[in-house]
Amino acid sequence: MLRKLSGILAVWVLCLTVAIAQPPAGDQPAGAPPDQQGQVGQDQGRRPRQFDPAQMQQRMQEMQQRRMEQMKTRLNATDDEWKAIEPLLQNVMKAQREATPGRGMMGMGGRRGRGMGGPEGQGGPQGGPAPQAAQAQEMPERAALQTAADDPNAKPEDIKAKLKAYREAMAKKQEALKEARNKLREVLSASQEAKLVLDGTLD
């Protein structure tokens, strides 16, 4: 009799242990690995973000405006001085970006643009324009040279021709930068010019 009661008790304890160890059916989707618990719910709440060119342009303008305000403070320029300085300073910054392709936000392209939406920068962030597309608009000579340089079947004479065109275009941009800097110097005080030399805006 004692042995029979001991056997029944052992079976009862075993059933109770299995029932406690078994998770409720609703806690995990069928067939889902344990380490993915909760992941399904998170994925269901995610939606792909849409790239808005207009919004990006607005943010760029706001950043540019803040930078101009900081430059005015740094140069300790009066309102009247700033009216003459600001447009010339913007021209210098624009010429500087164009004379140094491959650097900065608008210069990303080629190998620098890889990893943004796919190989060779074919897709921009969140479905936006590809960096190479923007680059081709700003400086088609650089885009053409990049394409030829990445083409294993490109002929050497074709690469040399595109390289020559690129260097000639860069020389013109350097000359435009030099002219923009000279015009800016004409409206600056000695202290203001020194500050812009130190931060690399002027040479």
Q: Residue by residue, what is the 3-state secondary structure of 100-113?
A: CCCCCHHHCCHHHH
- DSSP strands (E only) in 71-119: none
In the chain, the amino acid numbered 5 is L
Q: Report pLDDT for 38.
A: 54
- For the segment 139-149, what is each residue's pLDDT rounded down to a tens digit? 899 999 999 99
Q: Report pLDDT for 13.
A: 56
- For the segment 117-169, what is each residue's pLDDT rounded down to a tens digit? 443 444 444 444 444 455 556 689 999 999 999 999 999 999 999 999 999 99
User: Is a pLDDT exceeding 70 seen at residue 49?
Assistant: no
pTM of the predicted protein model: 0.58
- For the segment 170-201, what is each residue's pLDDT rounded down to a tens digit? 999 999 999 999 999 999 999 999 999 999 99
Q: Report pLDDT for 173.
A: 94
**2-8 LR contacts (CB < 8 Å, sep 24+):** none
What is the SS3 assignment for 100?
A: coil
